[in-house]
Amino acid sequence: MSPETLQKKFLKGLTEQFPDILGKLREYVPGQLIAVLSRDELPKVTKYAVNQLGARFVITVATDQRDKTGDFGISYILAFDEEKQFLVLHSNLPADDPRIESVTPDVPAANWAEREAYDMVGIVPEGHPDPRRLVLPDDFPAGIHPLRKEYEYNTRFPSEPQNAPPRMPPPEGSTVVPLGPFYPTLEEPAYFRLFLDGERVVGSDYRGFYNHRAVEKLGDSELNYNQVPFVAQQICGICGQVHSCAYVEAVERACEIETPMRAKYIRTILLELERIHSHLLWVGLAGHIIAFDTVLMQLWRIREPVMWLMERVTGNRKHYSSNLVGGVRFDITLEAAEDIRRVLDKVEEEFKAVVDAVLIDTSLMARLKDVGILTEENARALGAVGPTARGSNVAIDCRVDHPYAAYDQLDVQKQVQDGCDCWARTLVRLYEVFESIRLVRKALDQMPGGPIMAKIDGSLPADRIGLCSVEAARGESHHYVRTGDNNRPYRWRLRAPTYPNLQAVGCMIQGVNLADVPICIGSYDPCFSCTERVETLDVNTNEIRVYTREELQELSRRKTLG
Amino acid sequence: MQIDTAQLTALAIEIAKILAAAVCILVFILLVVLYVVLKLRWVIARIQSRLGPNRTGPWGVLQTVADAIKLFQKEDIIPRGADRWLFTIAPAIVFIPAYVVYVVIPFGKGLTVRPLDVGVVYVTAISSISIIGIITAGWASNNKWSLLGAFRAASQLIAFEVPVILAMCIPVLLSGSLNLDVIVQKQAGSIRDWNLFNAFPMCQIACLMLLIAGLAEANTTPFDLMEAESELVAGFNTEYSGMKFALFFLAEFAEAFTLSALLVTLFLGGYNPPVHFLGGGLTGYWFSLVSLVWFLVKCWLVVVLILWIRSTFPRVRIDQLMNLSWKGLVPVGLANLLVTGAYVGLWVAR
Amino acid sequence: MAILGFEITGYQIAFVVLAGITLGSAALVVLMPNIMRAALFLGLTLLGVAGLYVLMNAAFLAAVQVMIYVGAVTTMIILAIFLSHRLMQVGFAQAIHNPVFAFAAAGVMFIFLFITVANSLWVRDICAPGPANTDVGVHAVANALLQPYVFPFELASVVLLVALVGAVVIAKEDRPGEP
């Protein structure tokens, strides 16, 4: 352990309460402490760290490691943002009795993570207040945990419709109104059951994960290190660069690969351009949700040149396929850099005009101010991230707190608002666009020359753990990689920003008018496909099919012609 | 049984006249709606830096015709669990009032189908029937979103009927008649004789009130709460398709045109030309023709204004809308009515 | 035109049709098992009454009848149905819980109306068809309301105001938790 880590405040707090923990801590990667604890200690330490020391719960990683050590592993990842530190609390659970005491009653942010650990690997969270099925489809067989190693990535399971999780009963006297699974302003399937008293929301229940795509299973079984980024970038339709970048940085950290500085700068520039076009997209969508389509059309027009820029640099509007372990595939030439500067000047000018109009638009404020309140206390308790958290005065931003790529050299300014409402979240995003434009310009100015790919000889070492948090437009995307044999990751776990933010929605829409529910849900910029990436199964047909290009064309023609 | 031929012939002619007028109005409504929807797309496209329809026919003018043909071909769906009878009759309850209102609108000199002496009251009375159709549609659909839309519709339409009537009282008081034709004739002359430029500030307030409340009555953005797609899927007409949906659609745009026609008639001099030498001196059929053109030009301007408003405001929330009516427009309208009454009684009548 | 020796005018045909619609839909209001449909037929009844007013050359009264009774009162009744049954609950039904009491109440009402109608002094010519001159009618109504009948008119508005205030008070008390 490095001497400066030993000086950190959280460690002192932790060793005061648990004196023998010091001997169990290991620091393989700077800023990432790993402690192997017994299963009785782990929940105690987690609760203490979160509730007394101000740690932020990130995610749990459940691993089936029976082929190596004969037991299951569970890791609770915590973040001490102010001290730029990750803490991984790991425990090994016997294969015949994988139980662990649930921390959810004291750490509400762990709710979904523990349910998912049960669904996917079968780690039983004892004393969980709401242990319903979360991730698996309604008709998935009971007792099968698909992320265990005995199941292949393409195993097909029988349909057992009786396994659908029970629905939350509505409060007495309220009416259930279904919002979803398909709803006009949420472009992806999500099913909120709203409990209404008149038009006022008195409660809600969420059932989602309709888009499972077995990404983690593929990463654990089939893909090698350099195939994963190409799958990771397709997790999301917007933040592809975020996911592939977070994954490769996690591997690079675990295996101590020295990535060339120029590659890091290129990643940074692409990430910031992605944030710009994502935020522009969001502002447009928010306008659409409150029936202000002019905002939608104008913002998307302003956004379009940024998409062309991405195509100019990487050859693709989306799915840039830019990142590999050790570097990037596409260089930014001098001419491309000039194009980027030119386009950003125009975007900045046009966006400035929009922002000036938005900031004085009282009719917009009437719809957004004091709507969808997420208090600072709740935002922290539920582990909200990104603009959702920063709009509630929680100053966390991975670019500053857990720097990756070249952000440690760019002096990022966090954009924080204390309004706690939809308007505050809007302001955070508006100001972040300008900050991102500044960062891209600065990165272009500072970018050093040199290679864009590190030289990697032989296979990467096994059984190391790397973490990386990347600040996506929606918040922190967290990737965890445990390296394995044969140049394949042993366990790859990822948590998209919508995952914690979605859990905060119930709190946000409590008591609001039905008319405000879409903008509340919209205000944290939901990305359901990011969140739902684990398992694939067509509920209706139980059929896994690959369509050829011709078949797809034929299908679309048939549909169009009726 | 004796049959009086002369009486029968007179009856037949009368019925034929009524039918002809009915068909004329129907065709007019269809053409207006086709044009307004097209114009809506052009205006909104221009405001949003887009091109708008420009492919079907010259400059895209046939786009809405194509859309209408497509709409008529759609499958007519009645959802399971719906009240079939009410579900079917509801679009008619909404459309027929929007249609028969046109009976009293003075399109030009001598071009009113029936210049009723209670014209203004007739317009508000007939328009108020369509609320029942909307509620029926929402309830009969057996869909929670539809019912919520219907609920909103009821509260919204009732709330805004009051300011509409209060606003329409002002020109009625000034002209001393409920007959729309008489109101128009009192504004004859030049632009200075229009109600909008008289009786400052009562008429201007009333005009603005009629515009705002009328937009809410006609259910256009920013007041389209009863079918707000991002909140209520499609509101009361969620389950409707094909011809039935087309009737709702027609009624909505017919009402929007009625609003502009009322604004023109009550405040903008109706069919009178703005200056005397642009047709004011004509008589007989020529004046009828010229006045019809002026009426349509003015209506066109008001329609463009409505479309402009439509694309530059976000939708308000239901509670904000209710506050606007009950706490804003109604008190202002009542005070305005009082002041105007005093003005007419103490000043004009003397 | 004469049928079976009776002289039939267009006016009489119109009267029979409108009266038929009014009475028929009034009967349906009572007989419909579905309360929502019953409310809609009430709207039709009131519309029929408005038609009868038109026949009596009382166009202003007819228009106001449509505006107030069809546009507002029927809508309010439907809203009341929505609110008194729990929102979204579809199975509305109306039931006669005590037929004897219902018949008794209806009978008393009928006797009262019959005596009133029979003892009224009817001016025959007022319902005869004739050239419409309703502008005079509007003025006549206005003068009548503000001169001889100003007291009952104002009294009616005070009663409505009291009802309105009372409704607000009752609605306020419904939720004890809120200020």
- pLDDT at position C117 over 50: yes
Nearest CA in chain C to B121: C63
Residue matched to tokens 């046009």: A350
Backbone angles phi, psi at A440, to 5 degrees: -60, -45
What does the pLDDT read at residue A132?
Answer: 86
Give B205's DSSP letter: H
Residue matched to tokens 């502009």: B260
- B214 lies in some domain: yes
- pLDDT at position A516 over 90: no
What does the pLDDT read at residue A558?
Answer: 64
Task: For residue B169, give the H/E element and its range.
Answer: helix B144-175
CA–CA distance from C61 to each of B149, C41, C66 (Å)?
32, 21, 9
- pLDDT at position B182 over 90: no
Tokens, residue B63: 């786009």
85-114 in chain C: CB under 8 A from chain A: 86-88
Q: Which of B49, B145, B314 sits opposite A364 (nearest CB)?
A: B314
Q: What angle do CA A157, A158, A162 make, to 5 degrees?
A: 120
- B277 lies in some domain: yes
- B54 lies in some domain: no
Distance CA A258, CA A454 (A): 7
User: Over the stretch B148-177, which tens digit does the pLDDT of each residue have?
Assistant: 888 888 888 888 888 999 999 888 888 888
- B168 lies in some domain: yes
Residues pairing with A324 in the sheet: A327
Is residue A292 within 8 angstroms of chain B, CB to CB? yes
The SS3 assignment for B350 reads coil
CA–CA distance from B145 to each of A353, A516, A521 (Å)?
37, 15, 18
Alpha helices (H) along A199-260: 215-221, 228-232, 240-255
What is the pLDDT averaged over residues A374-389? 87
Give A513's DSSP letter: B
- pLDDT at position B279 over 80: no
- pLDDT at position C14 over 60: yes
Structural domains in chain A plus CATH codes: 3-135 (3.30.460.80), 215-531 (1.10.645.10)
Beta-sheet pairing, A85-94 with A71-80: antiparallel
Q: Are A460 and A225 in contact (CB under 8 A)?
A: yes
Is residue B230 within 8 angstroms of chain A, CB to CB? yes
What is the residue type of B110? G
- B36 lies in some domain: no
The SS3 assignment for A495 reads strand
Select from B80, B135, B161 the residue whose CB has the most chain C CBs within 10 Å, as the one to mutate to test that interface. B135
Find chains touching chain A: ≥3 CB pairs under 8 Å.
B, C
Instruction: Name the most confidently modeled range: A501-510, A540-549, B8-17, B335-344.
Output: B335-344
Residue matched to tokens 């007792």: A143
Residue matched to tokens 């929502």: C36
Place C130 in a pLDDT band, splitting at 50, 70 and 90.
very low
What does the pLDDT read at residue B276?
Answer: 75
Tokens, residue B109: 């000199």
What does the pLDDT read at residue A227?
Answer: 85
**Lowest pLDDT segment from A319-323, B130-134, B284-288, C131-135:** C131-135
Mean of pLDDT over chain A? 84
Residue matched to tokens 């009014």: C22
Domain that holds residue B293: 77-348
Distance CA A244, CA A328 (A): 11
- pLDDT at position B127 over 80: yes
User: Over the stretch A524-535, which tens digit does the pLDDT of each residue have?
Assistant: 777 666 665 543
Beta-strand (E) ranges in A109-249? 124-126, 175-179, 191-197, 200-207
| Contact flag C86-A198 (C-beta cutoff 8 Å) | no
What is the residue type of A241? Q
Residue matched to tokens 């669904």: A119
**Lowest pLDDT segment from A274-278, B92-96, B158-162, C123-127:** C123-127
> Which strands sit side by side in the sheet containing A32-37, from one edge to the other?
A25-29, A32-37, A85-94, A71-80, A56-65
| Contact flag A291-B230 (C-beta cutoff 8 Å) | yes
CA–CA distance from A539 to each of A140, A211, A551 (Å)?
9, 11, 21
Give percent of chain A with pLDDT exceeding 70.
93
Q: Are B262 and B214 in contact (CB under 8 A)?
A: yes
- pLDDT at position B313 over 90: no
Partners of residue C134 in chain B, C-beta under 8 Å: 117-118
What is the pLDDT averaged over residues A264-291? 88
| Contact flag B131-C135 (C-beta cutoff 8 Å) | no
What does the pLDDT read at residue B230?
Answer: 63
Mean of pLDDT over chain C? 78
What does the pLDDT read at residue C1?
Answer: 55
Neighbours of B297 (CB within 10 A): 13
Is residue B5 within 8 angstroms of chain C, CB to CB? no
Place B231 in a pLDDT band, splitting at 50, 70 and 90.
low
- pLDDT at position C109 over 90: yes
Is residue A357 within 8 angstroms of chain B, CB to CB? no
User: Over the stretch B59-112, which tens digit does the pLDDT of each residue have?
Assistant: 888 888 888 888 888 888 888 877 888 888 889 988 998 888 888 888 888 778
- B71 lies in some domain: no
Place A437 in a pLDDT band, splitting at 50, 70 and 90.
very high
Distance CA A70, CA A97 (A): 12
Q: How many CB pairs under 8 A join B and C?
A: 96
Instruction: Go through chain A and tell me how many residues it has.
Output: 562
| Contact flag C1-B7 (C-beta cutoff 8 Å) | yes
Structural domains in chain C plus CATH codes: 2-148 (1.20.120.1200)
| Contact flag C70-B129 (C-beta cutoff 8 Å) | yes
Q: Are A404 and A398 in contact (CB under 8 A)?
A: yes
Tokens, residue A404: 């990756």
User: Over the stretch A26-56, which tens digit does the pLDDT of each residue have?
Assistant: 888 888 888 898 888 888 889 998 888 888 9
Backbone angles phi, psi at B176, to 5 degrees: 70, 25
Give C86's DSSP letter: P
What does the pLDDT read at residue C85?
Answer: 58
Find chains touching chain C: ≥3 CB pairs under 8 Å.
A, B
* Global pTM value: 0.78
Residues from A in contact with C at Cβ < 8 Å: 173, 175, 177, 198
Beta-sheet pairing, A25-29 with A71-80: unpaired
Give B317's DSSP letter: P
CA–CA distance from B85 to each of A87, A245, B251, C14 (Å)?
66, 60, 20, 27
Following DSSP, what letter does each residue of A275-342 receive, concatenated?
HHHHHHHHHHHHHHHTT-HHHHHHHHHHHHHHHHHHHHHHS-SS----EETTEES----HHHHHHHHH
Is residue A184 within 8 angstroms of chain B, CB to CB? yes
| Contact flag A298-B49 (C-beta cutoff 8 Å) | yes
- pLDDT at position B136 over 80: yes
Distance CA B148, CA B234 (A): 10
Distance CA C66, CA C73 (A): 10
What does the pLDDT read at residue B241?
Answer: 81
More confident: C97 or B252: B252
Cis before residue B201, ω within 30 degrees of 0?
yes
Select from C76, C86, C90, C160 the residue whose CB has the most chain B CBs within 10 Å, as the one to mutate to test that interface. C90
- pLDDT at position A507 over 60: yes
What does the pLDDT read at residue C94?
Answer: 55
User: Over the stretch A129-184, which tens digit does the pLDDT of each residue have?
Assistant: 888 888 888 888 888 888 888 888 888 888 888 888 888 888 877 778 887 777 76
Tokens, residue A552: 């797809």
Place A553 in a pLDDT band, splitting at 50, 70 and 90.
low
Is residue B136 within 8 angstroms of chain C, CB to CB? yes
Q: Which of A184, A515, A517 sits opposite B318 (nearest CB)?
A: A515
User: Over the stretch A71-107, which tens digit does the pLDDT of each residue have?
Assistant: 999 999 999 888 888 899 999 999 888 889 998 888 8
More confident: B348 or A40: A40
- B130 lies in some domain: yes
How many folded domains does chain B comprise? 1
What does the pLDDT read at residue A31?
Answer: 84
- pLDDT at position C89 over 60: no
Place C46 in a pLDDT band, splitting at 50, 70 and 90.
very high
Following DSSP, what letter does each residue of A363-398 receive, concatenated?
HHHHHHTT-S---HHHHHHTT--HHHHHTTT----H
